[in-house]
Structure 1
Amino acid sequence: MPEPEKVTINLSVVDLGQIDVLVEEGYYSSRTDFLRTAARAQLEKQSEALNQIVRRRGLTIGVVHLNRAELEEHFQKGESLDVRVVGMLAIDAEVPPQLAGAVIRNLQVYGVVRATRAVRAALGIKERRSPAD
């Protein structure tokens, strides 16, 4: 699995203080542990809705990895790809931007894209400005 991504959130001082009390009392090992647990609980609570959305939109959950040979094969066959990912899209560094742009027709990534700046630009992926984006 890839390394976890960092996010930034704003909480009220009261919410943050309550989290700190729970951490100090040993309910959670850290603020991060509390927030990760809360996020997982909400995702589990909404799992049926998420599953329906994933099916309806034809999304892939997990990590999708694309390499040069695979994209060249699609290009040679005149095929294009619709890439819809919940998680991470990883495009190898040796993939030329022109090849990625020619083969990947539609792109939706809910999560993280790992690719060179040139490939990101060719696919119209904006650079993240801060960990909160």
Structure 2
Amino acid sequence: MMDLMEESRPDTPLALRGGTRSGDHEKITVNLGFVDLGHVDLLVSEGVYANRSDFIRTAIRNQIERHADITRQSVARNPIEVGLRRYGRAELESARAAGTRLDIRVLGLAVIADDVPADLASAAIASIEVLGSLQASPAVKRVLADRLL
């Protein structure tokens, strides 16, 4: 779950710590000015939102919905898998055996299974674009680094 923490530096009064995953969420950093932060805290204190994280998640969802047509048009132009997509060892071995390489495009969470060795990922994946988060072993991420779009 995303928890907001105030920074001690005055130029970044509000932040979510970046890069840490918990469950199906990923923490990100958000910097807000003092007035915006005050408005958020006022809405929380009035009971409109449970906490700062609730406000930010709601605001993000509202903006995603507001621009849903753009998302639909983009997905229609450039096919992309939406949601959670897991690539396991068997799927990558099948691609390699068939002499094909995968062009992976995911909006959401792409997971390359822990049992996938780096050499298999290198042989079976031509390119990878993830709008969201990629979970893979450090070794797999290293061999795919030059293929990330």
Aligned residue number for residue 99 of structure 2: 78
Q: Report whether the alignment pairs 1:98 with 2:114.
A: no
Distance in 2, matches of 1:82 and 1:24, equals 48
Q: Distance in 1 between matches of 2:119 and 2:26?
A: 28
Equivalent residue pairs, number? 124
Match of 2:32 among 2, 6, 11: 11
Instruction: Give the deviation of 1:56 after TM superposition.
Output: 1.0
Unaligned runs of 5+ in 1: 126-133
Partner of 1:62: 83
* RMSD over aligned Cα atoms: 1.0
Match of 2:44 among 23, 47, 51: 23
Q: Provide the rounded CA distance (Å) in 1 between the counterparts of 2:130 and 2:53.
A: 25
Output the TM-score relative to the length of structure 2.
Answer: 0.81
The structure whose RCO (Cα within 8 Å, separation 6+) is larger is: 1
Q: Distance in 2 between matches of 1:3 and 1:121?
A: 23
Equivalent-residue separation in structure 1 for 2:57 and 2:100 (angstroms): 40
Q: Distance in 2 between matches of 1:5 and 1:101?
A: 26
User: Equivalent residue for 1:123?
Assistant: 144
Displaced runs of 4 or more, over 6 A:
none
1:43 aligns with 2:43: no
CA displacement, residues 21-46 of structure 1 (integer Å, 9 cap, x when unaligned): 11000000001101110000000000
1:37-77 Cα shifts (integer Å, max 9, x gaps): 00000000000001111121111111110111111111111
Whole-angstrom CA distance in 2 between matches of 1:52 and 1:60: 14
Q: Secondary structure at the match of 1:90?
A: strand
Q: Percent identity?
A: 42
Tell me the residue number matched to 1:109.
Answer: 130
Aligned to 2:17: none
